[in-house]
Amino acid sequence: MKIISVNTYLKDLDLIKPFTIAYKTVSKVENVFFEIELENGICGIGSANPSPQVVGETPEQALDTLQSEFVNSFIGKDIRHFNELIDKMAMQYPESPGALAAIDIALHDAFCKYLGIPVVEFYGQKIRKMPTSVTIGIMSVQESLKEAAEYYKQGFRIIKVKTGTDVDEDTERIRLLHEHYANKLQIRVDANQGYDINQLGKFIKNTASCNVELIEQPLPVGQESELSVLDYETRKTLAADESLIHSGMALKLCHEPMPYGIFNIKLMKCGGIKGALEISNIAQKANIDLFWGCNDESIVSISAALHVAFSCSNTRYIDLDGSFDLGEDIVKGGFALDKGFMSPLGLPGLGVKKI
């Protein structure tokens, strides 16, 4: 079954409300979309919102890559050779994980629609549903409590709190959130590289009674070895994010003493489903748990992340709220959301439909 056309474009997607992390405030997001049409009329769709601060690629650069002659040469290729096409793309553009993710996702969507099965079933579904965390940006204590209350009313029971600007203020936010929602909300923390090792130690000590489930990327990239001063049980609760951008880094982070007990996999870092599975396989051998994250992304790529996450037996956490705060999207469907639990729809491909 041959590919007869490809199409790519950018779409500015407004957020319902801006949010702040350790190094920026975001009010709208630009996603690049890539579509494949097969000769029988099947269409596969992929999308990407790479973070230039993490991978050095913007959505505009991804768009340029996706409009290249190399990508246009996929026209006439057989969708049954989709893995070969992904490999060729990765070799041609090794520094373009966003463009690769968009193509990888579109090819998976088209191929599994061709087979008539969901992507997750193609790889073997291990998980049926799982609760996702929802994210509270850097804000005042009172604003944090108000947002937590809103999420609680919506049925979410896990919140991820962005920190990393002031240890004392971060500690106060976590302690008060725990005080207000003890045994009602599970708290995760994302420091976004905002601490040094001493600040991290202080934060861990001062929130020890708050049952923080995990801390994501506490130190800047390149300082992973400093985490070796922490005990094993503490390191097991730390999650690599910006330090983990591809399978090569996964291998490095598996060397003893392992700085992280959790790998945060984002399709926008590792180039899509195939790259994510490579990291998953490495993590499984090293007894490292998987935590699936995202940027602010279309339902398209969020659904792709959910499908691959649920095909991995070492998946323990998901944080796939990246489409919840979008004021618009180009598709609907993809997954079901019920009281904070996410699950695939059981439809062919990714289960998304263009609006």
pLDDT for 145 beyond 80: yes
pLDDT interval class at 264 (50, 70, 90): very high
Annotated domain spans of the chain: 3-117, 121-354
pLDDT interval class at 290 (50, 70, 90): very high
Q: What is the mean pLDDT of the chain?
A: 96
Q: How far is Cα 218 from Cα 307, in angstroms, rounded to an integer?
A: 28
Which CATH class for the 121-354 domain? alpha beta
Give residue-wise pLDDT tens across range 27-68: 788 999 999 999 999 999 999 999 999 999 999 999 999 999
Q: Which of 171, 168, 3, 9 is nearest to 74 (CA)?
A: 3
pLDDT for 231 beyond 90: yes
Q: Return the C-alpha torsion angle 142, 147, 151, 153, nearest 10.
A: 60
The answer to whether 21 and 162 have CB atoms below 8 angstroms apart is: yes
pLDDT for 23 beyond 90: no
pLDDT value for 28: 80
Task: List CB contacts of 223: < 8 A, sequence separation 6 or more.
Answer: 196, 197
Angle at 237 between CA 234 and CA 242, to 5 degrees: 115
* Helix (H) / strand (E) containing 37: strand 24-38
Give residue-wise pLDDT tens across range 75-133: 999 999 999 999 999 999 999 999 999 999 999 999 999 999 999 999 999 999 999 99
3-class secondary structure per residue, 312-349: CCCEEEECCCCCCCECCCCEEECEEEECCEEEECCCCE
Average pLDDT over residues 265-294: 98
Phi-psi region of 18 (alpha: psi -120 to 50; beta: other; left: phi over 0): beta
pLDDT interval class at 182 (50, 70, 90): confident
pLDDT value for 27: 74
pLDDT value for 325: 86
The answer to whether 252 and 271 have CB atoms below 8 angstroms apart is: no
Average pLDDT over residues 198-205: 98
pLDDT for 152 beyond 60: yes
> Which CATH number among 3.30.2270.10, 1.10.760.10, 3.30.390.10, 1.10.10.10 corresponds to the domain 3-117?
3.30.390.10
Average pLDDT over residues 193-218: 97
The answer to whether 83 and 110 have CB atoms below 8 angstroms apart is: no
The answer to whether 170 and 202 have CB atoms below 8 angstroms apart is: no
Burial class (CB in 10 A: 0-12, 13-18, 19+), 77: middle
pLDDT for 160 beyond 70: yes
Q: What is 145-164 written as a DSSP string? A: HHHHHHHHHTT--EEEEE--
pLDDT value for 14: 86
pLDDT value for 183: 84
pLDDT for 209 beyond 60: yes
Q: What is the pTM (predicted TM-score) of this model?
A: 0.95
pLDDT for 148 beyond 80: yes
